[in-house]
Structure 1
Amino acid sequence: MTPTDAHQSKQRVALASIGASAALTLAKLVAGVLSGSLALLSEAGHNLVDTGITIVTFFAVRVAGKPADAEHPYGHGKVESVAALIETGFLFALSTYILAEAIQRLTVKPVEIHANALAVGVLVVSILVDLSRWFTLSRVAKATKSDALAADVLHFSSDIIGSALALAGLVAASLGYPQGDAVAALAVAMFIAVVGYRLGRRTFDTLIDTAPKGLTEDVRAIAERIPGVNAVDQLRLRPAGADVIGDINISVPRTLPLEKVAMIKEAVRTAVAAVHPEVALTVTTQPIALDDESVRECLLLIGARRHRTIHNIIVQEVDGRMSVGFDIEIDGQMRLGQAHEIASMIEADARTELGPDIEVDSHIEPLEPRELPGQDAPVATRNAIAAALSEFASAPIVDVHSVRVRETPAGLVVNYHCRADPDLSVDKVHLAVDELERKVTAGFPAILRIIGHAEPLRRAVIRRHG
C-alpha cells in the first residue's frame, strides 16, 4: 500500500466510524433513559466519548498524512499519538464517573430497571455494528500502522465487551436481580480503565520516542552482517506515526575508497528496508584503523589525504627502530621549496600515525602532468625498435608483441606487450622488464619513455620455450 493509499484509507474508515458512533450513542442514550440501566447509560457515555474522539481521530489522520516541512522535518505522524493520548484521558474520566455512580446505586440509591425490548435490541445491534467496525479498523490500522486507528480498535473491542456486559446486566435485572445492572456497570468501568491504561502506555511510549521492542537489536544485527561494517557504534530509533526514523553510525576501515564506503552505506539501508520497510535510516560512517592495517596501507592513505601518490615504499627494522622510505610524485615544474614543504607534511603525518620515534625519509619524484601531442612514428623507426626489443628480450621475458611507437615533441613513446611465466613473482618480472628497457633505450637516445605490459604466458608456450 502506497503512502497516499494508506492515508486515504485511514480517512475513509475514520469518517465512517464517526457516523456509526453518533448513531449508536443516540440509540443507547434513548434506550438507557427509558430502561434506567446504568450499564446501558454508561455505554451511551462511552459511545459519546468515542464519537468525539473519532472526530479528533479523523482530523488527526488528515494532519498526520501531510509531508514533512521546514517546521516538522520528521513529518506529522505524532499528531495521531496526541489524538490517542486525548482519547486515553477521556476514557479514564468516563470510567471514574461510571465507577462512582455504580457504587452509589449499589449502596445508596437503588434504581428500578426496565429490561425492555428496545434496550435489548439496541445492545444487540451495537454489538454487531462494533464487530463490523472492529474488523474493518483492525485491518486498516495494521496495514497503515496508524496509532489513532489502533486506538479506535481498542475502543471498539471495549465497546463490544461493554455492550455484552450491559446486556448481561439487563438480563439479570429481568430475572429479578436489579443489582446486576450496577455490577455490570462496575465491570464496564473497570474494563474501560484497563483499555485506557494499555492505550495510554503505548501512546506515551511513542511520544517519548521509545523504540519498538526488539527493533533496535534487529536493525543492529542486520547492519553488522553487511560486509565492510566493522562495528555499529551508535543506533537511535524513534517512532513517527506509522514510520520509524533513526540514524546509525558504523565503523569502516579507513583505507577504503569513498566509492566503497558509499556502497556499504547503501547496502545497510537496503538490507534494513528489506526486513523493516517502515524504518528510514540515516547512515554515517566512522573510519578506523584496523589492527591488521599494514605500514604500506597507512602510508598510501596518508598520501591520498594529501592528494599525492606514494610508491616504492621500503620498510626496515634497524636496531629495534622502524625505518620507512618512499617516493612522492610531485609536479616537476613546482619549486623545490614548495615541494619540500609538501614532503615534510607527509613525513610528519607518517610520524603521527606510526609513532614519533620512526625514521622517515622521502624522495621527491617529478610527475610530468603535461599531455603530449603525438603521432605514429615512421614504420622504419617502429620496426627497428621492435627488432631491438625482441633481440634483447631474455628469460623470463618472451614473445614481445603489439609494439607501438609514437613521436612527441619531448621524444619517442614506446608501448609493447610481452609474456612471462604466470608463476613468477611480480618483482622478478619487473626487474626483467626494466633490464630490457634499459638495453633498448641505450641504443635509441630519442626514446622518452618505454611502457612494457607483461602478460601471463600460456602453458603450451611455456612447454615450447622450456
Structure 2
Amino acid sequence: MNRRKERVALMSVLVSAVLTVAKAIGGFSTGSLALLSDAANSLLDIGATTLTWLAVREAHKPADDKHHFGHGKFESMSALAETAFLFLLSGVVAVEGVRRLSAGEDTVQPNWMAAIILVVAIFVDGWRWWTLKRVARETGSEALEADALHFSSDLVNSIFVLIALGLAAAGYQAADALIAIGVSAYIAVAGFGLARRTIANLLDTAPVGLAERVRSVAQAVPGVVAVAQVRVRPAGSGVLGEIAVDVSRTLPLERVAAIRKRVAQALADDLERAEFTVTANPVQLGSETVQERVNLIAHRSHLPVHHVTVQNVNGRLSISLDLEIDGRTTLGMAHAAATRLENALREEFGAETEVETHIEPLEIEPLDGQDAPPDVAARIAERLRADAARTGVIHDIHHVRVRETACGLVVNYHCCAAPALDIAAVHAGVDDLERALRQAMPEVARVVGHAEPAAEAEGQSLPHAVSM
C-alpha cells in the first residue's frame, strides 16, 4: 500500500512537468492571462507534487528515538504547504486579472494549438484527480487528498480557460481576465477547506464521532466494567489513541492482560489504520464479597490463605483465616507477616474489624514419597468406607491412594454424594471422614477427599467433581 502511494505521487510529479511546458507554450503564443495562470498553476504543481512524494516517503518510516509516534505528521505538513501554494497562486492571478480589467488590455489571441493543449490537459487532470482521490480514500493519505484537491482545481481552471479563449475569439476580450479572477476565487475557497482540515489534524483534533465509536467497541469486550477515558488523534493516514478501561480488581494479572489484548484487537478489527494503547484500571465492584476482598488483599501480600470465615458479631465484622507460610520461617518472621496482613485487612474493612490468623506451615519443596504397602492402603480404604457408611452423606469410596512421606502418610481418595446436596453439607461429611481417620491412625498426615455427584443411573460418577 505504501509503495502504491509513492508510485501515484511520483507519476503526478512527471505529469505536472509535461503539462507546465505545454501550457506555457500555449499561453505565450496567445497572450492569455487565464492560460498563463494555468501554466503557473502547473508550475506550482511540480513543487507541490514533489513535496507530496517526499512527504509520503517520509511518513511511512517507522517510529524512532526522536519520533516516538512515527512520521505520519509529514503528510499533514505537506498538505498544509500545498494549501499555501494554492493561496499564493490565487492571489497572483486575481491581482493580474484586476490590473488587466482596469487597464482595458485586450491582448488575447486564441489559436488551435492552445485549444488542443487545454483539451489534453482537461483529460489528463481529470484522470489524475480520479486516480489520486481513489488512492487517497483507500489509504487515508492526507497528502494525496491535497494533491487530488489541487488537480480538481486544475481541471476546473482548464475548462474555464478554454471557455475564456472561446469568448476572446468571439470578441469578448475581458472574459479572459474575469474568468481568471473567478478561478482564483475557486482555488482560494478550495484551499481554505483543505487548510482547515489539515490544521485540525496538526492540532490533534479528534475525528468527529470516533471517540464514541471507540468507547462502544471497548465496552462490548467481556470483562470491561467501564471505559474510563478515550483519547484519539490523527497521525498521517492513520489514528493513534489511548484508552483506559476499568476491570474488577479481583481478577488475576493474566486475566487483566487478556482483556487488554482483546480490547486492542477489537479496536484493530473495527477501525482501519488505528493503533491504540490500552491500560486497565482495577476497581472495586459493588458485588464483591468479603471473602473475595480478603483473598485479594492476601494475594497482593503474596500470602496464601484458606478457610476464610466471616462473621457479624453484634454489628462488628470478624474475620478469621488460615495463613500459610514457609515452614522453615521462624515464628518471629511469620508473626510479622501475619501482622502485616491483619493491618492490611483492617485498612480495607475498618480499624474496628476483628482479624485472627492461624499460621500453618507451607511446604515449599515437593515431598519425596512412595506408595504405601498394599495392606496399609487396604486398611485405610476399609476404614474410610466404614466411616462413610456411618455418616450417611458420603458413599462409594474408591480410587484410594496412600503414599509414605517423611511427614507421614498422605491419603487421596474419591467418593460420591447426592447431586442435590449443597457444598457445605458435602464438605462437612468429607471433614468428618478425615477427622475419624486421623484419630484412628495418627500416622496419617494429610487426607484429600475428592467428592463427585453420584450418577442417577448405572452407578456412574457424573463429570465435574469437586475436591474437598
- Shared fold, TM over 0.5: yes
Residue among 135, 138, 143 paired with 1:143:
138
Write the deviation string for residues 412-463 of structure 1: whole angstroms up to 9, x where unpaired.
1111111000111111111111111222223322212111111111113689
Show the counterpart of 1:204: 199
Residue among 420, 431, 434 paired with 1:434:
431
Matched, 1:104 2:99: yes
Residue among 384, 401, 404 paired with 2:379:
384
Residue among 186, 189, 210 paired with 1:194:
189
Moved more, 398-407 or 165-174: 165-174
Show the counterpart of 1:446: 443
How do 1:82-97 and structure 2 match up within 5 A? 82-97=77-92
How do 1:11-410 and structure 2 match up within 5 A? 11-394=6-389, 395-410=392-407
Unaligned runs of 5+ in 2: 461-468
Moved more, 109-118 or 417-426: 109-118
Task: Measure, in 2, the Cα distance between the counterparts of 1:217 and 1:147.
Answer: 23
Show the counterpart of 2:413: 416
Moved more, 319-328 or 291-300: 319-328
Show the counterpart of 2:465: none
- Counterpart contact for 1:414–1:450, Cα < 8 Å: yes
RMSD: 1.6
- Counterpart contact for 2:411–2:444, Cα < 8 Å: yes
- Counterpart contact for 1:28–1:40, Cα < 8 Å: yes
Task: Measure, in 2, the Cα distance between the counterparts of 1:126 and 1:59.
Answer: 24
Task: Measure, in 1, the Cα distance between the counterparts of 2:317 and 2:431.
Answer: 29
- Counterpart contact for 1:36–1:111, Cα < 8 Å: no
Show the counterpart of 1:3: none
Inter-CA distance 252–188: structure 2 relative to 1 (3 Å threshold): same
Write the deviation string for residues 381-432 of structure 1: whole angstroms up to 9, x where unpaired.
1111111111121311110000111112222111111100011111111111
Displaced runs of 4+ in structure 1, greater than 4 A?
A: none
SS in 2 for 1:43: helix
Amino acid at match of 2:400: V
- Counterpart contact for 2:86–2:150, Cα < 8 Å: no
SS in 2 for 1:169: helix
- Counterpart contact for 2:324–2:359, Cα < 8 Å: yes
> CA offset at residue 235 of structure 1?
1.5
Task: Measure, in 2, the Cα distance between the counterparts of 1:414 and 1:361.
Answer: 30
Amino acid at match of 2:367: L
> CA offset at residue 276 of structure 1?
0.6
TM-score normalised according to structure 2 size: 0.95
> CA offset at residue 333 of structure 1?
2.6
The percent identity for this pair of structures is 48
Amino acid at match of 1:460: A
Amino acid at match of 1:152: D
- Counterpart contact for 2:83–2:191, Cα < 8 Å: yes
> CA offset at residue 88 of structure 1?
1.0
Moved more, 393-402 or 100-109: 100-109
> CA offset at residue 110 of structure 1?
2.0
Task: Measure, in 2, the Cα distance between the counterparts of 1:358 and 1:373.
Answer: 42
> CA offset at residue 79 of structure 1?
1.2
Amino acid at match of 1:168: I
Amino acid at match of 1:183: L
Task: Measure, in 2, the Cα distance between the counterparts of 1:337 and 1:444.
Answer: 33
SS in 1 for 2:319: strand
SS in 2 for 1:67: coil
SS in 1 for 2:323: strand
Write the deviation string for residues 163-219 of structure 1: whole angstroms up to 9, x where unpaired.
111111112212221111111101110111012111111111121112222211111
Moved more, 62-71 or 217-226: 62-71
- Counterpart contact for 1:99–1:189, Cα < 8 Å: yes
Amino acid at match of 1:233: A
Task: Measure, in 1, the Cα distance between the counterparts of 2:141 and 2:454.
Answer: 67
Write the deviation string for residues 93-138 of structure 1: whole angstroms up to 9, x where unpaired.
1111111111122222422221211121111110000111112212
- Counterpart contact for 1:265–1:283, Cα < 8 Å: yes
TM-score normalised according to structure 1 size: 0.95
Task: Measure, in 1, the Cα distance between the counterparts of 2:459 and 2:429.
Answer: 17
SS in 2 for 1:415: strand
SS in 1 for 2:457: helix
Moved more, 365-374 or 281-290: 365-374
- Counterpart contact for 1:39–1:166, Cα < 8 Å: yes
> CA offset at residue 252 of structure 1?
0.6
Task: Measure, in 1, the Cα distance between the counterparts of 2:384 and 2:352.
Answer: 47
Write the deviation string for residues 134-170 of structure 1: whole angstroms up to 9, x where unpaired.
1221222222221111111001111111111111111
- Counterpart contact for 1:91–1:196, Cα < 8 Å: yes
Inter-CA distance 460–298: structure 2 relative to 1 (3 Å threshold): same
Amino acid at match of 1:141: A
Task: Measure, in 2, the Cα distance between the counterparts of 1:256 and 1:85.
Answer: 48
Task: Measure, in 1, the Cα distance between the counterparts of 2:314 and 2:412.
Answer: 44
